[in-house]
Amino acid sequence: MVFSSLTFLLLFLPVTVGLFFLRPSVIWRNGVLLLASLVFYAWGEPVWVFALIFETLLVWLFSHGSVHAGSPGLRKLFAFLGVALPLGVLLYVKYAGFLLVPLLSPLGIRLPETRMPLGVSFFTFQIITYAVDSARDPESFQPDPLRLLLYVACFPQLIAGPIVRYGDVREALSGRDILPEDFTCGMQRFACGLGKKVLLANVCGKIVEETITAGASGGRSVLGGWYFALLYALQIYFDFSGYSDMAIGLGRVFGFRYQENFNYPYLSGSISEFWRRWHISLGTFFREYVYIPLGGSRCSVPRQILNLFAVWALTGLWHGASWNFVLWGLYFFLLIVLERFVLRGLLPRIPAFFRVPVTFALVLTGWVIFYFTDFAEMMAAFSSLVGISSAGRLPIATPGLLAVVRKYSFFPAIAFFAAFPLWRKTALRLRPLAPVVLTAVFVLSLLFIVGESYNPFIYFRF
């Protein structure tokens, strides 16, 4: 079940909200939310929902042991098991076929086929944050295993984040006041995210597919390469930030305050700034639970580079079991090392009007690596960006591409400007009309969902 489906919007969400607010007791509300979350996950993963429950309860037992064990050795053992169990499950279901099968196949050893469950990377990282935080600070231990299960399985952020750290919601799990303003603002944020997803991301995705088809049938071109890269960059931004908006909005409806996950990343003046603005919860996780424990920047330059390499190799692998994701992570690793250790003194002196478009072009190049799992197709896409292929110079445009451009007219320009805060002053002036505008966005999104079959969530596969 996805947020942008009629089943969710017209059945699941109204029933869940109605039952949730039927009684003010935190026990009742937590119970309704937990049951709804398990139904939500079981809708798409009827088997893995039991694995999610079992894994969470085992980690709770390990954290209980790490907090209450009588000896330091046992505490360390339980703490290790609390991290190793979810991490081991993630490595097997997501990476066994990628890393182990090529090694074991020549030996005649076959691994049982396992389908990767939805959202496994997101809820695994959340379980790990609890295991680590409770081992570091016994006060973080959650004595009620059902509350821990609610933290892990809470449906607003279960499938595609944002990654919620346990410490951010620990107190809210025990009791929270939900004001009318929380419900109103939460639903408005949800409507905004739904509009991003359905009205912007889905249309951008259709243009991406038609651009690729036009290039395959009518030949590649320079304009086609950059048109594809721009539209895919907009699609993945509106898709993921729209989902995050919906998750943050629903979280507020149910009394949780999730951290922001995007902050106009395409406005960045450097790659480092881009990653402070893009998928903020993932960057925070790797900084707090990988980079800093490895020594962070409090060590020699070679060790800092090694730490950054580990973080970005893992960041690439987190996005998928494919070499293009590893290459994508290492691409950003090289750019960040270049910024931090080579251009450190020069970057601040370069005007923003130059740094921002250069950064944006570098990010677009990265999204090309991210999109293509086939290296031959990736290199063909890069040949379009530079205008040169093995057959010679490429044309600026082709008739097939121009037909796609004419078909969608000014939509790419509208989507592009919507990715920047250029409309903020207008939005502030229209603030009193926000409920009317967002209601219209919600209704229009419903109409688009009814009329269109293209409705994927990119980050579901991670």
Q: Which residues are catalytic?
A: 319
**In which residue are the tokens 């805060």 written?**
421
> Which residues lie across from 337 on neighbouring strands?
none
Query: Omega before 14 cis (within 30°)?
Result: no
- Rounded CA-CA distance 246/254 in Å is 12
> Which residues lie across from 392 on neighbouring strands?
389
Task: Please give the C-alpha separations between residue 275 and each of 75, 176, 265, 286, in angstroms, as whole numbers.
Answer: 35, 32, 8, 12
Give the tokens for residue 229. Answer: 């890269």
Alpha helices in 287-351 (DSSP H): 301-318, 323-337
Phi, psi of 43 (to 5 degrees): -55, -40
The residues, ordered by sequence, that sit 6+ positions from 306 with a Cβ below 8 Å of its Cβ are 294
Q: Residue 97: is it exposed, middle or buried by C-beta count within 10 angstroms (0-12/13-18/19+)?
A: middle
Segment holding 355, helix H or strand E: helix 352-371
> Which residues lie across from 393 on neighbouring strands?
388
Write the single-letter amino acid at 415: A
Write the single-letter amino acid at 138: P
CB neighbourhood size of 175 (10 A): 12
For the chain, helix, strand, coil in percent to 5 are: 75, 0, 25
Give the tokens for residue 307. Answer: 């730490």
> What is the C-alpha end-to-end distance of the chain, expressed in Å?
16
Closest CA to 37 of 166, 123, 162, 141: 123
